[in-house]
Amino acid sequence: MTLLQGLNSEQRAAVELPPRSALILAGAGSGKTRVLTTRIAWLISTGQATPSGILAVTFTNKASKEMVTRLTAMLPINPRGMWIGTFHGLCNRMLRAHYREANLPQTFQILDSGDQLSAIKRLMKVMNVDEEKYPPREMQWFISGNKEEGLRAHEVEAYDPYTRRKVEIFAEYDAQCQREGVVDFSELLLRCYELLQRNAQLREHYQARFRHILVDEFQDTNPLQYRWLKLLAGQNNAIFAVGDDDQSIYAFRGANVGNMQDLLRDFRIENVIKLEQNYRSHGNILDAANALISHNPNRLGKNLWTDAHKGEQIRVYEASTDIDEAGFIVEEVQQLRREGVKLDEIALLYRSNAQSRVLEHALVSAGLSYRVYGGLRFFERQEIKHALAYLRLMENSEDDNALLRIINFPTRGIGARSIEQLQESARQFNTSLFDAAARAGGKVSAFVALIESLRGAIKDLPLPEIIDHVLEHSGLRGHYENERSTASKKREAEERLENLNELLNAATLFVHEAEDDGLTAFLTHASLESGEHQAGDSEDALHLMTVHAAKGLEFHTVFITGLEQGLFPHQNSIDSGEVDEERRLMYVAITRARRRLYLSFAQSRMLHGQVHYGMASSFLRELPEALLHWLTPRFAAAKPATRETESYLAAFGAAAPAAPAALWRAGQRVFHQKFGEGTITGVEGGGSDGRVQVNFKHAGSKWLALEYAKLTAV
């Protein structure tokens, strides 16, 4: 059959499976989309199903459109009658068809995230809820998170008055939505699940219709999505699930990798078909990925391979600093261009968004076009713009845009009506908003007092201390620290805090590079850095992105940066003992590369405005040595320090030749001018190229490169 031409034996076996539930364990680059679409085409062409009798679920609209495009290219069918779409899209379609049974108006509207937040704020105002105590965005996460677990307000356990009040708001929010005939995104799935659960006639109708249910990216399903699929499948229908437990990286969004094991048990699936032949990467890259992921327990297990050649070894670079790391990457990118590799075929990956600033600065300085994929450039991020707005207003009271951005952030009870009155007053007296605010009373005058207080406190401080003081006393840092205590907001808040700390790093480095190190000069620098550097859609440009954003993409060359313990794997996962998902994330990063892969880490990196010494990621030790080509001597300083690097280290008292490693021994007490007293717990290498591990009383355990670290015996 023409449909099956070009499929390998495992792909063909998956496509031709008899009508029973199956799990297709599809490795990275193994052609899973082709298998999924060919399976649908095969079922239709062999008469086992009609187009309207198939339900295919994807996670993005882009994926569902691609599936329809491929299908219509394979078969002369009209896609209008097919049920192919995202969970939310399919549930919306079902609710539209059965709005009465779902207790919805025929013209019910869907609230996007912004509309939902506005609805919650409006409700809380009616309920006289203190927004300081119950931030609306936190309530939004509370409501959506519980719905995605399949819980209504009355089903949420509340052990204390605070949670009970949140449950009350949740219940009133649902009642308000019902009155107004609107649903939010999480309501679409929950309402549809409840409809099928309680209405046996409707459930049996769809079970009879959809004999074949196909699911893409099954490892990303959450508990409610799996329950919805089980309802539709019933006792007789077949679920054809395609996924990869080794690429399950969205636990923070509610994805449950355990759904794959549950599927095997609940549907008594005995034969798991593994798609292990990779059509993307060279052999050495795949061997590295296989070796790394083998350290994860409880895998379903597979081993990627290719009939292409082994290719190049993986290049590993140990930098002296994060600036050196960025400089090395720029040099390699320029060399790749000379070799004929387009910038568009190169990706720079990092674990945390905050890492992009140093890379962006190096790329701008080198005149290399880049595009931040799935995110914002550093100086365009919300929290950075908030911090800069405080600094701009303190520097220039006439800056109305800065005032409008921060007058009620963090929330201080200054509402829209108060701001309108302020603008009216400014127009009437032809003054700035700040001058108008100075004439106002109440909470507006308290804001003016805050700005004046900040302005007075920073008068004689150096730039890094100015920024640190403003982050602390404006309430910005405290705002995101409070959000971090909320489980649903923890990850986002941590990223924002990391970005604020990176702003402090940027200021610290600016002081030691610029001729004019004042606040005005720094704000000008920030404006220029946030200018039109990001490439347009049609321009040949590098891709910068987090590893999470890279899933599903592929590139000729990939740089995985910042491979230090505590950064990747992230410290939170180390502290919680949950490194498995971080390892899956590293697996995803490695398998984005087709031909060339670089791994880089730095001996020292600026964090919180200070140089911190780290050690190489444990993931590097999990890669076979035979696959690696070290561009720097293993565990030695990366290369002779450049003038920029020396300035960077000297600025923090970190640059000075040290005694050779042979003079230090485990158990010896030492003193470091940044970290204080400590005890040596390990010595590595010889001569001045060595490094020591020191357990500091107040700074914890750190590896220090002796080429730069000033240590004295105590």
Catalytic residue positions?
32-33, 216-217, 247, 592
> Which of these, 197, 190, 262, lies nearest to 225 by C-alpha position?
190
Side chain identity at residue 278, one-letter code: N
Looking at residue 304, what DSSP letter applies?
-
- DSSP bridge partners of 184: 111
Residues 391, 519 contacting (CB under 8 angstroms): yes
Residues 308, 285 contacting (CB under 8 angstroms): no
> Which of these, 633, 622, 631, 635, lies nearest to 287 by C-alpha position?
622
Side chain identity at residue 688, one-letter code: S
Across the chain, which distance is largest between two alpha carbons, in Å?
Answer: 83
136-148 and 113-126 helices, crossing angle to 10°:
120
* Pairing relationship of beta strands 555-560 and 346-350 according to DSSP bridges: parallel
User: Which distant-in-sequence residues (6+ apart) come within 8 Å of 490 by Cβ?
Assistant: 483, 484
Could you give the CA distance from residue 696 to residue 385 in angstroms, rounded to a whole number? Answer: 36
> Which of these, 307, 305, 229, lies nearest to 267 by C-alpha position?
229
> Which of these, 354, 280, 377, lies nearest to 561 by C-alpha position?
354
Side chain identity at residue 88, one-letter code: H
C-alpha neighbours within 13 Å on the C-beta side of residue 323: 18
CA angle 331, 333, 339 (to 5 degrees): 110
Side chain identity at residue 108, one-letter code: F
- DSSP bridge partners of 545: 349
User: Which distant-in-sequence residues (6+ apart) come within 8 Å of 93 by Cβ?
Assistant: 83, 85
Sheet holding 22-26, edge to edge: 83-86, 54-58, 212-215, 238-243, 22-26, 272-275
By three-state DSSP, how is residue 111 classified? strand
Q: Let me know if 359 is exposed, middle or buried by CB neighbors in 10 A (0-12, 13-18, 19+).
A: buried
> Which of these, 372, 368, 359, 351, lies nearest to 324 by C-alpha position?
359
Query: Two tokens at 382?
Result: 């919300």
By three-state DSSP, how is residue 342 classified? coil
> Which of these, 566, 508, 522, lies nearest to 700 by C-alpha position?
566
Query: Two tokens at 655?
Result: 């640059």
SS (H, E, C) 645-714: HHHHHHCCCCCCCCCCHHHCCCCCEEEECCCEEEEEEEEECCHHHCEEEEEECCCEEEEEECCCCCEEEC
Calculate the CA dihedral of residues 191, 192, 196, 201 and round it to 10 degrees.
110
H-helix segments, 59-152: 61-74, 87-97, 113-126, 136-148
C-alpha neighbours within 13 Å on the C-beta side of residue 279: 11
Could you give the CA distance from residue 174 to residue 188 in angstroms, rounded to a whole number? Answer: 12
> Which of these, 287, 262, 109, lies nearest to 187 by C-alpha position?
109
Could you give the CA distance from residue 292 to residue 289 in angstroms, rounded to a whole number? Answer: 5
